[in-house]
């Protein structure tokens, strides 16, 4: 096209842009810009009214300056003035400025909306389009409020120009995305759906995006679009390449519309109407056939457009997952692309095959490409393509090819890009666990993983291998032998030392018969790594040493000497020092029997979902899609983590892995009472769901607000309010550090029967996964008490702090007494009712010693905090307290009476507690009260 007009020659603007381009330095540029800004400001402020052209020019300059990355704080008003110009180009610049630089200055929004309203009703199609573009570009809530009602009318009106319809459709889509509540299609629904039949391809192309988005939210209302979309698609697919004139793109008829149609169909299941379905299958087959035809052009645009449709068709085939024939054809087609010379196609084929691998119909077909994919992993030059190959290998893995795939992934890890190592490590760990037929292979694989990519092996991975070794006695000897050998390496990764220390501490005896790995050799080997390790690992090693003393009495003196050395017993780290002191003491005063009990072998871990899997699930991407599949496979096949296999876990309650115990379970042993509370978070068993911290819980029996939990990292505050059987709890999570917490997630669970019918908990707002250092975020939980309950809901908090996973479970302080409604009653009434309640299940009595000397006022406050009415002058004995209240649950209301009798010097209380029907629950309440006194 010769000499097209290139704007209306804003000479001043061109000069200014040239000036900027000629600036030699950033400073010069800023100087020039400041000069220009001063000039424009003076023009805008000047007495002389500016003509439209000048105004346009200056607004355009401001826009240019803003787009260069500088702040603009004036000119908005002049831009708004341009909107009401009747010169198109002035209006256009005004709208552009508003679209790019809108701010929520309410006064301006009103003026802008006014101008838009005028243009929308101008019946001048070009003005209408400008106004619609502006709404679509800004898409603010204020605009939705002003125009969401008007635009559907414009969209479906018979006399609206096609170009305006196109803009209106997409404008509405944008408003729907920002404010779905304001965009109500209602009566227009069917007319909007019928835009799919419009003669103008452009209208269909624009409208279908709107219809797809609306269908996702309200599939039923829009389901008639399915048959319309199929017939439209069928007409396009079967048209000759020139039929559609300007909508043919490099010999491909309407590629954008075809993709959008196929995308719309993915919002629905396969059509039920046989004829529609037949027609659609025909279309899909035609698309697959065309892929085999020789290209009509050598241009990459031709093949891209054609393949865009092909990939979208394959997505639809995978979405339906019901036509084995099409699935296998799709897979073969992708197989061809795997070896295509276009990198883009190889990438997309790998990506698309990942989803095919999870279909039962095509899983086997995908597997036939394993060699090609492995080759891609080894030879692709682009890391993003290699990543796709690794994802696909993960997705196509099953029992038959697991060893090969895991081996390939391990060898790839040695050279893998740093950015994907952690994910690769997780994937290898999961595959190795899931498809382990013999556990020695599993142990080898994980140790290899640590050797090759130790830095990327997260805690979950090495915790998991220990968990599995503990639970499987057939692999323990092998594991001990293997870690012993691995530790021989002069430089081994700290994670290896952790696993080695733990396993030898537990099972070193299984290899101690061999003089090459005698107890002392084992100890010396471990201790040779000690000084190179970080504090948490050293702490773990110290625990391994005390386990050694129990396993091998002959090492006792050597180890005691180590513990006694200044570097241990006077270590500046309080945790290490404490361990050294306590272990030393334990080993010297406890009898062999006591030692054997305290330091007994760890009992099996309870079976639970692999936390590695949970971690990978959080990662997005096609590789994660198949995680669900994997889980299913696991339920059928693997029992790797068979917790119960070694028989009852009645063994030694004392060493059952307890909430905050470290992996070696030492702290649970009675003689070691005071392990440091700080205990390096590393050693908290991240697997343990039983790891409930209820220190804070009991304090909340008699109060509703306060700090539930606090450590060096995190503070959790609570504010709660209850009315009848409903409650609302505000949780405040405060980051006490200066570093952000990432992947911060909280889940509230109701264990056991609490979940099914006792307490209904609804989390109100979800949290951002990130808490900045020093920041606090809030979460609201709604609680409904359906019927009586005794357990408390659990709050689990997970986040990463400086790379380390923090996992914390707390009891939420929701106790039955929160639903008390105080009831006043006179002395006479009280004792009459008291006497009526004489059946054993109607009363509970508890005698306990108060934790503190009680002062009457404190006691009163606590009883009031319990939620009942404190009845004054009812009990003849002033030392006694009586209370009455009604517990409100959704199912019933239960009256309760309470009498607290003090004895002696208020040290001992007896607490007869008389609820009418709560039998075993009343004890809970009594116990709670006891603790809080």
Partner 1 sequence: MQFMLLFSRQGKLRLQKWYVPLSDKEKKKITRELVQTVLARKPKMCSFLEWRDLKIVYKRYASLYFCCAIEDQDNELITLEIIHRYVELLDKYFGSVCELDIIFNFEKAYFILDEFLLGGEAQETSKKNVLKAIEQADLLQENNNTSCSMGLLLS
* Sites for partner 1 among residues 115-174 (CB under 8 A): 126, 129, 132-133, 136-137, 139-140, 163, 166-167, 170-171, 173-174
- Residue 638, annotated as binding a ligand: no
**Matching residue, tokens 């060898």:** 411
Q: Which CB sits closer to partner 1, 176 or 435?
A: 176
Nearest approach in angstroms of CB 618 to partner 1 is 12
Who's near 47: CB < 8 A, 6+ residues apart? none
Q: Shortest gap between Cβ of 633 and partner 1 (angstroms)?
A: 25
Measured distance CA(158)–CA(685) in Å, rounded: 68
Spell out, one character per residue from 307 to 336, where the chain touches partner 1: x when CB under 8 A holds, - when not. Answer: xx--xx--x---------------------
Nearer Cβ to partner 1 (175/436): 175
Is 43 one of the annotated binding-site residues?
A: yes
**CB 804 → partner 1: shortest distance, Å?**
23
Structure token pair of residue 734? 């405060």
Nearer to partner 1 by C-beta: 206 or 450?
A: 206
User: What residues does 729 pair with on adjacent strands?
Assistant: 720, 781
- Binding test (CB under 8 A) with partner 1, winner from 298, 620, 635, 835: 620
* Beta strand ranges found along 133-271 (DSSP E): 248-249, 252-253
Residues 574-613, one symbol each (x = binds partner 1 by CB under 8 A, - = not), give ----------------------------------------
Q: Does 256 bind partner 1 (CB under 8 A)?
A: yes
Distances (CA, A) of 291 to 304, 416, 672: 11, 34, 72
- Is-contact 613 640, C-beta < 8 A? no
61 is in an annotated binding site: yes
Phi, psi of 734 (to 5 degrees): -110, 130
* Residue closer to partner 1, measured from CB, 350 or 487: 350
| Residue 109 CB contacts under 8 Å (≥ 6 apart), including other chains | 140, 142, 143
811 assigned ligand-binding residue: no
* Beta pairing partners, 327: none
* Distance of closest approach, residue 305 Cβ to partner 1, in angstroms: 5
Quick one: 261 or 503, whose CB is closer to partner 1? 261
Structure-token pair, residue 301? 């645009």
**CB 4 to partner 1: min, Å:** 6
Nearest to 558 by CA among 590, 532, 594, 587: 587
E strands of 153-193, at which residues? none
Roughly what angle, to the nearest 10 degrees, separates helices 76-83 and 88-101?
Answer: 140
Residues from 827 through 846 that contact partner 1 (CB under 8 A): none
Smallest separation, CB 347 to partner 1 (Å): 5
| Closer to partner 1 by Cβ: residue 628 or 712 | 628
Q: How far is the CB of 384 from partner 1 (least distance, A)?
A: 5
Work out which of 7, 149, 553, 752 binds partner 1, going by CB under 8 A: 7
DSSP H or E stretch at residue 481: helix 473-487
Residues in 196-235 at the binding interface with partner 1, rule: CB under 8 A: 201-202, 205-206, 209
Our CB check for partner 1 shows the closer of 145 and 438 to be 145
- In the DSSP assignment, the letter for residue 621 is S
Give a three-class secondary structure readout of 2-56: CCCCCCCCCHHHHHHHHHHHHCCCHHHHHHHHHHHHHHHHHHHHCCCCCCHHHHH
* β pairing state of 893-903 and 726-735: unpaired
Q: Is 802 annotated as a binding residue?
A: no
Q: 3-class DSSP state for residue 900?
A: strand
* Two tokens, residue 275: 């004829």
Helix or strand holding residue 163 (H, E):
helix 162-178
Helix (H, G, I), strand (E, B) or coil at 397: coil
Applying CB under 8 A, among 75, 255, 271, 867 the residue interacting with partner 1 is 255
DSSP state of 767: P
Please pick, from the candidates 122, 227, 239, 304, the single residue that binds partner 1 as defined by CB under 8 A. 304
Q: Whole-angstrom distance between the N-terminal and C-terminal Cα of the chain?
A: 90
Among 45, 46, 69, 199, binds partner 1 (CB under 8 A): 69
Tell me the closest approach of the beta carbon of residue 621 to partner 1, in angstroms: 6
Task: Give the C-alpha separation, 207 to 185, whole Å.
Answer: 13
List CB contacts of 590: < 8 A, sequence separation 6 or more.
Answer: 598, 671
Of the residues 247, 337, 412, 507, which one makes contact with partner 1 according to CB under 8 A: 247
240 binds partner 1 (CB under 8 A): no
CB of 770 to partner 1, least distance (A): 13
Q: 161 vs 407, which CB is nearer to partner 1?
A: 161
- 3-state DSSP percent of the chain in helix, strand and coil, to 5: 55, 10, 30
11 annotated as a binding-site residue? yes
Phi, psi of 103 (to 5 degrees): -130, 165
Cβ contacts of 827 within 8 Å, gap of 6 or more:
871, 873, 874, 875
Q: List binders of partner 1 among 372-411 (CB under 8 A).
A: 381-382, 384-385, 387
Among 127, 347, 412, 914, binds partner 1 (CB under 8 A): 347
217 is in an annotated binding site: no
DSSP character at residue 659: T
Q: Is 65 exposed, middle or buried (0-12, 13-18, 19+ CB in 10 A)?
A: buried
Site for partner 1 in 83-122 (CB under 8 A): 87-89, 92-93, 96, 100
Question: In terms of CB distance, is 266 or 656 closer to partner 1?
Answer: 266
* CB of residue 629 to partner 1, shortest distance in Å: 19
How many residues make contact with partner 1 (CB under 8 A)?
A: 77
Query: Which residue, 62 or 549, has its beta carbon nearer to partner 1?
Result: 62
User: Shortest approach of partner 1 to residue 94 CB, angstroms?
Assistant: 11
Of 149, 324, 621, 644, which one interacts with partner 1 (CB under 8 A)? 621
Question: With binding defined as CB under 8 A, does residue 181 bind partner 1?
Answer: no
Structure letter (DSSP) for residue 381: S
Applying CB under 8 A, the span of 8-16, 542-550, 657-665, 801-809 interacting with partner 1 comes to 8-16
Annotated binding site: 11-12, 43, 53, 57-61
């Amino acid at each position: 096209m010769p000499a097209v007009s290139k704007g209306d020659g804003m000479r001043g603007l061109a000069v200014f842009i040239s000036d900027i381009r000629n600036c030699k330095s950033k400073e010069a540029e800023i100087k020039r810009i400041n000069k220009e800004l001063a000039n424009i400001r003076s023009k805008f402020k000047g007495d002389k009214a500016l003509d439209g052209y000048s105004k346009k020019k200056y607004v355009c300059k401001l826009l240019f300056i803003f787009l260069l990355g500088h702040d603009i704080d004036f000119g908005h008003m002049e831009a708004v003035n341009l909107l009401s110009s009747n010169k198109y180009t002035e209006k256009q610049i005004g709208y552009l400025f508003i679209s790019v630089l809108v701010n929520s200055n309410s006064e301006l929004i009103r003026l802008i909306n006014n101008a838009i309203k005028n243009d929308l009703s101008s019946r001048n199609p070009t003005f209408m389009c400008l106004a619609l573009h502006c709404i679509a570009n800004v898409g603010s809530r204020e605009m939705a409020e002003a125009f969401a009602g008007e635009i559907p009318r414009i969209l479906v009106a018979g006399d609206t120009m096609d170009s305006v319809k196109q803009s209106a459709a997409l404008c509405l889509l944008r408003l729907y995305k920002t404010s779905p509540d304001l965009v109500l299609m209602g009566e227009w629904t069917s007319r909007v759906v019928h835009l799919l039949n419009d003669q103008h391809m452009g209208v269909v192309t624009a409208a279908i995006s709107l219809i797809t988005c609306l269908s996702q939210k309200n599939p039923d209302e829009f389901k008639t679009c399915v048959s319309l979309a199929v017939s439209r698609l069928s007409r396009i697919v079967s048209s000759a390449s020139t039929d559609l004139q300007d909508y043919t793109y490099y010999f491909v008829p309407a590629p954008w519309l075809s993709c959008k149609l196929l995308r719309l169909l993915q919002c629905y299941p396969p059509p039920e109407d046989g004829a529609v379905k037949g027609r659609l299958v025909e279309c899909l087959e035609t698309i697959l056939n065309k892929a085999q035809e020789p290209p009509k052009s050598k241009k990459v645009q031709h093949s891209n457009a054609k393949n865009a449709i092909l990939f979208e068709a394959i997505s639809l085939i995978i979405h339906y997952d019901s036509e084995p024939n099409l699935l296998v054809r799709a897979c073969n087609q992708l197989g061809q692309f795997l070896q295509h010379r276009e990198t883009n196609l190889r990438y997309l084929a790998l990506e698309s095959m990942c989803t095919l691998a999870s279909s039962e119909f095509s899983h086997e077909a995908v597997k036939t490409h394993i060699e090609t994919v492995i080759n891609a992993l080894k030879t692709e030059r682009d890391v993003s393509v290699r990543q796709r190959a690794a994802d696909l290998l993960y997705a196509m893995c099953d029992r038959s090819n697991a060893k090969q795939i895991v081996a390939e992934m391990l060898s790839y890890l040695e050279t893998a890009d740093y950015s994907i190592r952690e994910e690769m490590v997780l994937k290898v760990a999961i595959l190795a666990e899931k498809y382990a037929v013999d556990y020695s292979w599993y142990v080898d694989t994980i140790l290899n993983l640590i050797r090759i990519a130790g830095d990327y092996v997260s805690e979950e991975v090495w915790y998991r291998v220990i968990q599995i070794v503990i639970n499987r006695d057939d692999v323990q000897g092998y594991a001990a032998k293997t870690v012993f050998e691995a530790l021989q390496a002069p430089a081994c990764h700290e994670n290896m030392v952790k696993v080695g220390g733990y396993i030898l501490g537990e099972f070193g005896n299984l290899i101690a018969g061999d003089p090459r790995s005698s107890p002392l050799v084992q100890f010396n080997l471990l201790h040779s790594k000690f000084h190179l390790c970080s504090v948490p690992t050293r702490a773990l090693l110290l625990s391994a040493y005390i386990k050694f003393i129990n396993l091998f009495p002959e090492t006792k003196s050597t180890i005691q000497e180590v513990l006694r050395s200044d570097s241990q017993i006077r270590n500046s780290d309080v945790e290490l020092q404490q361990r050294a002191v306590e272990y030393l003491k334990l080993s010297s005063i406890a009898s062999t029997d006591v030692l054997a009990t305290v330091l007994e072998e760890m009992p099996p871990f309870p079976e639970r979902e692999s936390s590695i899997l949970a971690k990978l699930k959080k990662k997005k991407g096609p590789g994660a899609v198949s995680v669900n599949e994997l889980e299913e496979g696991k339920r059928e096949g693997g029992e790797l983590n068979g917790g119960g296999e070694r028989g009852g876990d009645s063994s030694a309650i004392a060493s059952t892995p307890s909430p905050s115990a470290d992996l070696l379970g030492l702290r649970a042993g009675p003689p070691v009472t005071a392990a440091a509370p700080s205990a390096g978070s590393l050693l908290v068993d991240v697997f343990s769901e039983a790891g409930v911290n209820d220190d804070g819980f009991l304090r909340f029996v008699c109060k509703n607000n306060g700090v539930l939990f606090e450590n060096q990292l995190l503070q959790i505050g609570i504010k709660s309010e209850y009315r009848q059987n409903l409650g609302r709890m505000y949780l405040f999570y405060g980051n006490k550090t200066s570093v952000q917490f990432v992947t911060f997630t909280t889940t509230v669970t109701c264990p056991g029967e609490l979940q099914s019918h006792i307490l209904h908990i609804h989390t109100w707002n979800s949290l951002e996964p990130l808490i900045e250092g020093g920041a606090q975020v809030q979460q609201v939980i709604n609680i409904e008490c359906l019927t009586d309950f005794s357990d408390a809901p659990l709050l689990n908090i997970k986040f990463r702090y400086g790379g380390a996973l923090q996992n914390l479970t707390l009891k939420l302080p929701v106790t039955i007494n929160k639903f008390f409604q105080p009831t006043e009653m006179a002395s006479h009434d009280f004792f009459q009712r008291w006497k009526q309640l004489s059946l054993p299940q109607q009363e509970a009595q508890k005698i306990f010693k108060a934790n503190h000397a009680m002062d009457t006022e404190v006691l009163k406050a606590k009883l009031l905090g319990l939620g009942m009415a404190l009845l004054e002058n009812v009990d003849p004995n002033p030392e006694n307290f009586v209370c009455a209240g009604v517990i409100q649950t959704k199912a019933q209301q239960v009256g309760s009476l309470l009498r607290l009798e003090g004895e002696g010097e208020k040290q001992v209380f007896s607490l007869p507690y008389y609820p009418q029907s709560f039998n075993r629950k009343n004890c809970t309440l009594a116990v709670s009260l006891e603790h809080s006194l």
